[in-house]
Amino acid sequence: MRICIDTNLLIAALTKRDGASARIVEAWLDGDVEVVTSEATQREAKLVLGGGWLARMTSRSMVDDLLENLRTRTVVVDPDEIDDIGLKDEGDRRMVEAAVAGGAEYVVTTDREFLSRRGYRDTEFVTPRELLETLRL
């Protein structure tokens, strides 16, 4: 199964180590799911996670390790731009473009605007808990 992970899930995984988001990151790192990224989604993650504010809530090494895993342990795609997504946030649009290009079944997020759409083409937008139920983890 291929998924895209929104940056808000990565933050939650780092700050709430026993939560649903952390379990999804663990499933990815254990090889149970593949994560699709693009240069744009990796850049956004580095921008958001790389700031010093997150390292104050967790350790700098945990943030760096997660960013390194995003760079080295994902399926990196070069997506085409999609104009008819209907999402306001450019980062959200880049996430959908990567998901579609990479054949991801799910984009996992807690973003309400994103989730209100529920999907695009063959990619469904789900919460971390919904994905865990699908994976039966």
CATH code of 63's domain: 3.40.50.1010
- Contact by Cβ (8 Å): 35, 5: yes
Q: What is the DSSP string of 28-86?
A: HHTTSSEEEEEHHHHHHHHHHHHSHHHHTTS-HHHHHHHHHHHHHSSEEE-PPP-S---
Count of structural domains, the chain? 1
- Contact by Cβ (8 Å): 84, 105: no
- Taking each helix axis from N to C end, the angle separating 20-29 and 7-15, rounded to the nearest 10 degrees, works out to 100
pLDDT digits (tens, 9 = 90+) for 34-93: 999 999 999 999 998 877 777 677 878 888 899 999 999 999 999 999 988 888 888 889
pTM of the model: 0.91
- Contact by Cβ (8 Å): 100, 79: yes
Give residue 16's domain range. 2-135
